[in-house]
Amino acid sequence: RSHAGPSGRREMTEEMLDPGDCPLMDVRNLVIGHGRRSVADVGSFTIAEREWWSLLGPNGCGKSTLVRTLLGILAPVSGEVRRFPSAVAFAGFVPQHGSPVAAIPLTVEESIDIGLAGLGLSRRARRERIGASVTECGLDGLERHDTARLSAGQRQRVQLARALARCPRLLFVDEPTTGLAALSEGRFIEVLQSRRRDGMAVVYVTHNLELAVRYGSHAVVFGERVHVGPVVETLGPPHRRIPREL
């Protein structure tokens, strides 16, 4: 069920955001790190469709290391990450703001098209996906523009459009709205919420506690210990588990 918010756009109710029963990733007794050097003992949890997992903690605590481990880029120090086939094939990633997308001489269309490599889509299917993600992310009219000439917010929406064009079931997002204006951040979150309504799960690295509490269903909070679970348990008042450095 949905209703029109102050902006006239459809907003999602709690009922629509209830987590699904379909697991996408199962983590068991996970210790993350680099090689044999341990960074954090994360423990066990399961990511299911429509969930929003916020990863919070001070710089250098292991948030990005956890993302790389869940994606299979890094091997666990110990423990297991079970990635269900459909989630592996259709996972997406939106890197940090300031990544080198603007340094590559590509148009918006070309940048999004790169993200479709390896999916075996026909040229027509690729065009359709590019057009849909351009509209979804508010990039209409910018398709032929050089990404280097776009604003920071527009470039970040290109990153999002490229990831969403793959129709991911699980999307990893690494601090994408840092330094963006409130309007750009709001549009970015709005797109993610719309995709969650259709079943996509989100793993979101952030320092923004308010955002994590408002939109998140679950959280991984890094500190002296790592706390994992529903937001009501990990981030509920009085936020005793949030590191001061955050």
Q: What average pLDDT does this structure show over 178-205?
A: 83
Beta strands of the chain (E only): which ranges? 2-4, 10-12, 23-34, 37-48, 52-56, 78-83, 91-94, 170-174, 201-205, 218-222, 226-230
43 vs 148, which has greater pLDDT? Answer: 43
| 65-69, 98-102, 189-193, 201-205: least confident range | 98-102
Q: What average pLDDT does this structure show over 32-43?
A: 94
Q: How far is CA 133 from the centre of its chain?
A: 16
Q: How far is CA 206 from CA 3, 59, 229, 243, 244, in A?
A: 28, 10, 16, 13, 15
Structure confidence at residue 105 (pLDDT): 84
Q: Give tens-digit pLDDT for 6-31.
A: 333 334 433 445 555 688 999 999 99
The residue whose two tokens read 């709001």 is 186
Q: Give tens-digit pLDDT for 101-154.
A: 445 689 999 999 999 988 899 999 999 999 999 999 999 999 999 998 888 888
CA distance 93 to 202: 10
Structure confidence at residue 154 (pLDDT): 87
Structure confidence at residue 191 (pLDDT): 92
Residue 54 binned pLDDT confidence (cut-offs 50, 70, 90): very high
Interstrand relation of 52-56 and 201-205 (parallel, antiparallel or unpaired): parallel
Among the listed residues 39, 47, 26, 48, the one whose alpha carbon sits nearest the alpha carbon of residue 78: 39
Neighbours of 229 (CB within 10 A): 14
Structure confidence at residue 217 (pLDDT): 95
Residue 188 binned pLDDT confidence (cut-offs 50, 70, 90): confident
Structure confidence at residue 244 (pLDDT): 40
